[in-house]
Chains A and B, each alone.
Chain A
């Protein structure tokens, strides 16, 4: 706020002594007053400067004075600020002081007055205040230009974000008619300073955009834009970050930092308050030197020649609102970051060694550098790392390298006295020379085939050779030890196995690997057809966290070594066979978990290698590194189901191809009742239900009989295997319903008993009834001769017919001869004629269907005996059409019964006395055939009388027989 006067202590002391002498010599008291008060207004910064002189000082007198300044606003009595300004005053020099107003000066007139006192210990008697100067009016002339009715102040002001800002406007109209907005938000905190001046206080102004924030005012009534202003907001200056200094050569310090966010808004008009870009300066406190930095991220500092080691730097950053700074104190030798070495060379590169040499840039002082030499393979693999202390140059021998391998050798250095930062790397790639590889690790599998055996050879490079060594090819030598012959095979380097077919001899097989560096020693085995696999029982093994432990008993005491091979059981030995060779005294080994996968079953074979390199199978093992729960559940079928049990079967389930050894099965059963039988274990479910669980400990037991069930009940079951880890996956229960109390067989038997027996009984009863019915029918319709007239049918006819129907009474008949009509077949009738012994007479005795007659009469059954048919009117003409007997149909059942009756009848005839056989008798069953008198005229009136039994009538003798008579066989003849 105040501009301090320039002080010159030495000169002031002299002047003060002179002044004292003068003041002491004066008789009257010294009167020192401010005078000639002038002012100047700077609207850009909203400040006014006061300039006044001090009256009463002697020439060259210099005295410290205290000026009290009072500022009023609007009117003189409205004092808004009172403050003191202490400064040293010289004679004939004006005092300068300025005051910045929060309220834009355009909006109010200010008044200022000053009084003073001597604030100097040498003049204690002058400490009284002088009189106030008269009020000085400070007013901006014409805040509104001619014709202008409204104006906002301050124009284009620059403020820092978060600060408060006072805005006012001068309007020729009343302030209440104006509404002002900051961007789009209306401002309500307004205060009427005068009727034409209104003040706003904008609090916590925020940064919106570099191009400023608009504020404008409108006439409320007309919405007319009255005026506005732009407020430029500067972001708050931040502290510089990551300030750091270092030197590469102890001659120059390079200080760096992260640039801060730009705070300055856009470039304003030169007449406005401008915030320049942030400026950085570096200040060193020991030397008290300052350097203005040209860049906003780094600055250099020349190290003094006078061996200054300690430095205390301050990086200052400022804008017009505030200053930020960060400190950094350090010892120069602790901030050495050497430049990368140069002249890096590789020399004497062979298969295992290489020599590297390099130089470093000199430092200001003779110093020792610590250099790090690295040898990397494949960009990342650290092979060697060593630190070497050097002066100006260094060298190092890289040893123990692999032949024919590409390496990256590189070096970096740091200051040896105090390690702070390593330099950047300098390096070079090189490849070591090649040498012959080691003997390959070889193994085999032997498969007997007719006529010999197939040997599959597997080999791999030793870990130290693989995969760096570039093998060109493999040579395989197969030597028949029995016949002393040999075969050489060459296999490309990309192969690691091959198969050879051998006869029943003993062979020595050897493998060598050839690279550019030479051929490896041979790796050999002796194989024969007898591997002895069948003689060894297979055992089970289970892995642990360390792997799978395999142990064996040696076969002989002079073994060359042992070989453990293993492969996935599901894939077989031809896919992914692995092996491990062990020394002669070994009886166990642990295969690391890296070779196995959980849940996979592996087969192990342990061989002993004899001194003749022949392998003998010692043991066979199978197992899992880590057992898992079964992957799938068996497919269960239900068999032998009855009312109280059923059988579950899962015979197709394979126990060998699971993720663990199947130890058994769990059978889950959801019973109808909430209790389980003794052999089950009850397991409760979360939903308050429960099921019964039965454990089968035999993995080969793949059937299970569920007993003690209730008939016609629903049971749900579920079968899952289990391993040592747990049981199989959750599955859905299958539902099954038990049968009824009695099985189908019983039902079948009962059916027989309940249905067939009654049916048989009924049938027999029906036969009896029917037989009885037949008897009844016979009695009713055609009673046995000699009482045929006892027929009730006849009596019925008699009641209806006239008396011209004559019954033949036995007493009226003169028996001449008796012919017995005998029926040969069911479908044929026979007619016996008395006048022509042994002559067949056609007889129609079967019931005829009336509709078969040409006359087409109503269907009816007539019984007619034409034997008695004389010249009498036909009471019933039932279709006596000339129908051939061959066309007669026989209702079988009825007719068979009639046959029986017929037989009885014939029997009765046989018993008739000869004298009584003078009347021809024709069975009532026969029907007349056509011809002769058979063609009786059909009386339509008599047709209605069908279904009646036609009474037996006398048939005249000698009646012509039917032409068909000859075709009839004679069943019997009169005696």
Chain B
């Protein structure tokens, strides 16, 4: 009886996913995803996570361009790129294909989980920085807030996948650690650049990760 109800819920949820607008979908994702006690198929959460990652992927470029536009030169210069800028508190998304392809499910999901956890915290930090640096930019602040919300949604979906796969869900950690509050305005602009850039890279990688899992666990 319980199992049938659970299947109905999942079917209903699957139906609603495509018909509901994105904000409502995000709200559903932010809710406690699934009960631990009910083993479920990983295909559905993978599918949902994949859809969300695809949706996120469409907006990462806009977020980065909007961010750079508000920071002034050299950030707003055409074709600006500074790959040398990195944040030690943010794991890089770049990985060799061989290594990436050989990753186990747990490690694959764990790295993504770790990255998006760090990204949510960093996006919060960047949003706070921009309130100081560019107080008259509600568009940028809204996009940063939306990106953080989506990253949190993807985190929830990944937790659901890991639960479905019987993998342990890593606890939320303070990946940001000690924040250099005394960072200069230019350093904060650079920090925001790295965060928005890596958010895009990690979203691209998550799409690939989830596509791989989707193919693997599709019925």
Contacts and interface: CB of A to CB of B under 8 A. Distances in A.
Nearest to A216: B74
Nearest to A155: B184
A475 B82 CA distance: 99
Given A155-B184, A266-B132, A212 B84 contact: no
A229 B184 contact: yes
Most buried by A among B74, B77, B85, B136: B74
A156 interface: yes
A230 B74 contact: no
Given A209-B72, A230-B184, A269 B85 contact: no
A584 interface: no
Given A181-B73, A211-B72, A214-B74, A269 B132 contact: yes
A348 to B, nearest CB: 63
A730 to B, nearest CB: 64
A271 B182 contact: yes
Most buried by A among B134, B182, B185: B185
B169 interface: no
A122 to B, nearest CB: 50
B23 interface: no
Contacts of A271: 181-182
B44 to A, nearest CB: 44
Interface in A136-171: 152, 155-156
A224 interface: yes
A683 B77 CA distance: 75
B97 interface: no
B72 A183 contact: yes
B133 to A, nearest CB: 6
Contacts of B186: 152, 155-156, 214, 216, 227-230
Contact of A266 (B71, B133, B181, B189): B133
B168 interface: no
Contacts of B181: 269, 271
A268 interface: yes
Given A213-B72, A267-B135, A230 B185 contact: yes
Most buried by B among A209, A227, A266, A267: A266
B84 to A, nearest CB: 5
A184 interface: yes
B132 A184 contact: no
A645 B81 CA distance: 96
Nearest to A209: B72
A211 B76 CA distance: 14
A265 to B, nearest CB: 10
A751 interface: no
Interface string B134-145: 111000000000
A266 B181 CA distance: 17
Nearest to B82: A225
Contacts, number: 66
A974 B212 CA distance: 156
Most buried by B among A213, A216, A268: A216
Contacts of B132: 266-269
Contacts of A183: 72-73
Interface in B29-82: 70-75, 77, 82
B187 to A, nearest CB: 8
Interface in B186-219: 186, 189-190
B74 A181 contact: yes
B185 A156 contact: yes
Interface in A227-274: 227-230, 266-269, 271
Given A224-B84, A267-B132, A184 B185 contact: no
Given A209-B72, A211-B134, A267-B135, A225 B185 contact: no
B72 A212 contact: yes
Interface string A92-107: 0000000000000000
A155 B189 CA distance: 13
A184 B186 CA distance: 15
A224 B85 CA distance: 9
A156 B186 CA distance: 8
A367 to B, nearest CB: 51
A155 B72 CA distance: 16
B77 A184 contact: yes
Contacts of A184: 73-74, 77
A227 B84 CA distance: 11
Contacts of A227: 186
Interface in B124-158: 132-136
A214 B190 CA distance: 12
Most buried by A among B72, B84, B189: B72
A855 B189 CA distance: 132
Contacts of A156: 184-186
Contacts of A228: 74, 186, 190
B93 to A, nearest CB: 20
Contacts of A155: 184-186
Interface in A216-230: 216, 224-225, 227-230
B103 to A, nearest CB: 29
Contacts of A152: 186
Interface in B88-133: 132-133
Contacts of A181: 73-74
A181 B134 CA distance: 21
Contacts of B73: 181, 183-184, 214, 216
Interface string A254-296: 0000000000001111010000000000000000000000000
Given A156-B184, A268-B185, A225 B133 contact: no
Contacts of B190: 225, 228
Given A266-B132, A266-B135, A225 B74 contact: yes
A158 to B, nearest CB: 11
Nearest to B134: A211
Interface string A184-218: 10000000000000000000000001111110100
A266 B185 CA distance: 12
Contacts of A267: 132, 135
A155 B185 CA distance: 8
Interface in A406-457: none
Nearest to A224: B84
A224 B83 CA distance: 9
A213 B74 CA distance: 11
Contacts of B134: 211, 266
Interface of B: 70-75, 77, 82, 84-85, 132-136, 181-182, 184-186, 189-190
Interface of A: 152, 155-156, 181, 183-184, 209-214, 216, 224-225, 227-230, 266-269, 271
Given A210-B136, A268-B132, A269-B181, 13 more contacts: A155-B186, A156-B186, A183-B73, A212-B72, A212-B185, A214-B186, A216-B186, A225-B74, A225-B82, A266-B135, A267-B132, A268-B185, A269-B182
23 contacts: A152-B186, A156-B186, A181-B73, A181-B74, A183-B72, A211-B72, A211-B134, A214-B71, A214-B72, A214-B74, A214-B189, A224-B82, A225-B82, A228-B186, A229-B186, A230-B185, A230-B189, A266-B132, A268-B185, A269-B132, A269-B182, A269-B185, A271-B181
A-B pairs with lowest CB-CB distance, top 7: A155-B184, A230-B185, A228-B186, A225-B82, A183-B73, A214-B72, A224-B84
